């Protein structure tokens, strides 16, 4: 089962709970630099879609913090 990720909540939260499901990402997901990611075992993140289709032009699936 895949569920939508609440991107706004990930970008604002200091503590992020990750349930034991598969998260299908269509774009880069960014969390705060000091965010604590907690949750259940066997949580999965999978990249899907056009943004991640080209192996010659790689994109980050999950990022912590923003580059200055």
Q: What is the pLDDT along the chain (68 residues), one digit of tens a residue?
A: 445 566 656 667 788 888 888 888 888 888 888 888 888 878 888 898 999 999 999 999 888 887 65
Q: What is the pTM of this model?
A: 0.68
CA distance 57 to 2: 25
């Amino acid at each position: 089962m895949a569920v939508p990720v609440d991107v706004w909540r990930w970008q604002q939260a200091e503590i992020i709970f990750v349930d034991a499901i598969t998260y299908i990402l269509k774009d880069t997901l960014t969390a705060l630099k000091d965010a604590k990611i907690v949750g259940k075992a066997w949580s999965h993140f999978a990249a899907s879609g056009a943004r991640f289709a080209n192996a010659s032009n790689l994109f980050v699936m999950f990022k912590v913090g923003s580059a200055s």
